[in-house]
């Protein structure tokens, strides 16, 4: 039986997290099919059909799926899932929202946020903020899985030539509707896709001071992240939070500025290749995971760093 991956997209572009989920799916054994459910999402379907490793692309193009409302999407995916051994989605806020509904409707477990595929039914996943790794075997006929993007390389976006099948099923549960959204607009790379990230914590003092980090980000082509304390204090918006309950990142270079290094923050960034910490407290736990630690006042060190880059 084949493996079904649910594409993450905004009706115009296919999101990178899909490509990591495809790589995880190819390790589960079997053909990989991709489902694009959206509204006026033809461009996404075209991009999906070109992804290397996809044998078949299913597209459900209807207003009911425009905003990926979990109530509607889960009914569609549950209906399609019958013919599959695995149903896989990226562990993004979209995947985390609708996929557990699918699992419940299929009367199976969901294995969340996997970081390794050991066999078609055995997976690794972090628990306790990444302080332990569980190896879990699924006993279910259909395995429902979300994939941690940083744990799998992205599949090639080009080179595939999937056959395309259109699904006409319309599932509109009629119990929820989209009211609006406030999306962050930025020319910088997305946090989960960036090669370099510079993050600020409570030590930044206020939101204006994040401009210091932005200047460095501009020079390094980096994304800007934050700790929970910086988000809670209103310095920056929630989509910048890195950590156990925010975004999981693993860039080539992660620079933590004025962040103490609580376990919940470390859970989101300790798989970065190189970690730099700038903190005035030499006892700060962040130094225990940093490759390069600089004990300094950030208001001196950060402007100096910017000049030297």
Partner 1 sequence: MKVLVTVKRVIDYNVKVRVKSDNTDVDLANVKMALNPFCEIAVEEAVRLKEAGTADEVVVVSIGPKACQEQIRTALALGADRGIQIETEEAPESLGVAKLLAKVIEEEQPGLVIMGKQAIDSDNNQTGQMLAALTDMPQGTFASEVKIDGDNVNVTREVDGGLQTVALNMPAIVTTDLRLNEPRYASLPNIMKAKRKPLDVKSPADLGVELKAHTKLLKVTPPAERQAGIKVASVDELVEKLKNEAKVI
Ligand X SMILES: Cc1cc2nc3c(=O)[nH]c(=O)nc-3n(C[C@H](O)[C@H](O)[C@H](O)COP(=O)(O)OP(=O)(O)OC[C@H]3O[C@@H](n4cnc5c(N)ncnc54)[C@H](O)[C@@H]3O)c2cc1C
Per the annotation, binding residues for FAD are 202, 227-228, 241-245, 258-265, 279
> Which region among 53-61, 156-164, 170-178, 206-214 touches partner 1 (by CB under 8 A)?
170-178
Closest distance to ligand X from the beta carbon of 133 (Å): 19
CA gap 257, 265 in Å, rounded: 12
Number of residues written out for the chain? 309
> CA Rg, the chain, in Å?
21
Q: How many residues bind ligand X (CB under 6 A)?
A: 27
Closest distance to ligand X from the beta carbon of 265 (Å): 3
Nearest to 183 by CA among 237, 230, 228, 106: 237
**Site membership for partner 1, residue 309 (CB under 8 A):** yes
Q: How many CB atoms lie within 10 A of CB 133?
A: 12
139 binds, among ligand X, partner 1, none (CB under 5 to 8 A by kind): partner 1
**Tokens found for residue 222:** 């980096």
Instruction: Determine the 3-state secondary structure of 301 from DSSP.
Output: helix
Q: Which residue lies nearer to partner 1 by CB, 49 or 269?
A: 269
Site for partner 1 in 1-60 (CB under 8 A): none
269 binds, among partner 1, ligand X, none (CB under 5 to 8 A by kind): none
Q: Which residue lies nearer to partner 1 by CB, 31 or 120?
A: 120
**Site membership for partner 1, residue 98 (CB under 8 A):** yes
Nearest to 240 by CA among 232, 280, 301: 232
Site for ligand X in 288-307 (CB under 6 A): 297-299
Which residues are CB-contacts of 47 (< 8 A; sequence separation ≥ 6)? 13, 14, 157
Instruction: Determine the 3-state secondary structure of 70 from DSSP.
Output: helix
CB 143 within 8 A of CB 117: no
What binding mask, one character per residue, do residues 248-277 give for ligand X by CB under 6 A, x or -? ----------xxx-x-xx--x---------
Closest distance to ligand X from the beta carbon of 107 (Å): 30
Site for ligand X in 196-235 (CB under 6 A): 201-203, 227-230
Backbone angles phi, psi at 220, to 5 degrees: -100, 0
Q: Which residue lies nearer to ligand X by CB, 259 or 275?
A: 259
Closest distance to ligand X from the beta carbon of 68 (Å): 23
CB 93 within 8 A of CB 9: no
The burial class, CB within 10 Å (0-12 / 13-18 / 19+), for 178 is exposed
Q: Which residues pair with 165 in a beta bridge?
A: 58
Site for partner 1 in 221-260 (CB under 8 A): 228, 231-232, 237-239, 244-245, 247, 252-253
138 binds, among ligand X, partner 1, none (CB under 5 to 8 A by kind): partner 1
Q: Which parts of this chain interact with ligand X (CB under 6 A)?
A: 201-203, 227-230, 241-246, 258-260, 262, 264-265, 268, 279-281, 284, 297-299
């Amino acid at each position: 039986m084949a493996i079904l991956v649910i594409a993450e997209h905004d009706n115009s572009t296919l999101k990178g997290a899909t490509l990591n989920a495809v790589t995880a799916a190819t390790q589960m054994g079997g053909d990989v099919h991709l489902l694009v459910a959206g509204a006026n999402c033809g461009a996404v379907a075209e991009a999906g059909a070109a992804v290397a490793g996809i044998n078949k692309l299913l597209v459900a193009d209807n207003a009911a799926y425009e905003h990926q409302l979990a109530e509607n999407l889960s009914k569609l995916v549950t209906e399609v899932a019958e013919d599959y051994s695995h149903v896989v989605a990226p562990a993004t806020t979209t995947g985390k929202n609708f996929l557990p509904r699918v699992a419940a409707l299929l009367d199976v477990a969901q294995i969340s946020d996997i970081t390794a595929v050991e066999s078609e039914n055995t997976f690794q996943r972090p628990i306790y903020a990444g302080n332990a790794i569980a190896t879990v075997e699924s006993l279910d006929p259909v395995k429902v899985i979300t994939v941690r993007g940083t744990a799998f390389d992205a599949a090639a976006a080009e080179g595939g030539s999937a056959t395309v099948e259109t699904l006409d099923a319309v599932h509109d549960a009629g119990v929820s509707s989209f009211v609006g959204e406030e999306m962050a607009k930025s020319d910088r790379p997305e946090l989960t896709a960036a090669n370099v990230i510079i993050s600020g914590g409570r030590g930044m003092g206020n939101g204006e001071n994040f401009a210091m980090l932005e200047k460095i980000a501009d020079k390094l082509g980096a994304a800007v992240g934050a700790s929970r304390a910086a988000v809670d204090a209103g310095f920056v918006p929630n989509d910048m939070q890195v950590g156990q309950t925010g975004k999981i990142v693993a860039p080539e270079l992660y620079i933590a500025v004025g962040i103490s290094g609580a376990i919940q923050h470390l859970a989101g960034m300790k798989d970065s290749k190189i970690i730099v910490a700038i903190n005035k407290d030499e006892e700060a736990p962040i130094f225990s995971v940093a490759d390069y630690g600089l004990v300094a006042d950030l208001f001196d060190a950060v402007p100096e760093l910017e000049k030297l880059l």
